[in-house]
A = this chain, B = another copy of it.
């Protein structure tokens, strides 16, 4: 049933995935000097590894940095953008938790690739499937197999 080993799903867990500043800057499209300044001001935090020489950042921080950039592009000051980002980036925790808990089974649905997200809490006889059809993701209810 579960065809994605726990270790693999665990990769996306809260503080597992860590990126260096170079990758962070490239992926988020924000300069390293900006990230360093934001960190100095306390808006961005790096992970303290034991032997930490270089700074490492979590996926959550990547999300926050991207949000700060987004709000600054809209005209907010750094401080205002950071405050707005602070409220929103909790989302990253939820996203990660759902990935770890729910992305359990890769399967097929009417010949399309799908992920079985598991049964509905109120109606365990039906599972929610996320199906990829024609490059779109659709949600379907499928009777639970026993």
Contacts and interface: CB of A to CB of B under 8 A. Distances in A.
Interface of A is mostly: mixed
Interface in A1-48: 3-5, 7-8, 11, 16-20, 22-23, 26-28
Given A27-B16, A27-B17, A66-B7, A139 B113 contact: no
Nearest to A71: B5
Report copies per complex: 2
A118 B98 contact: no
Contacts of A106: 88, 90-91, 94
A4 B88 contact: yes
Interface of A: 3-5, 7-8, 11, 16-20, 22-23, 26-28, 56, 62-63, 66-67, 69-70, 88, 90-91, 94-95, 97-99, 101-103, 106, 113-115, 117-123, 128, 130-132, 136-141
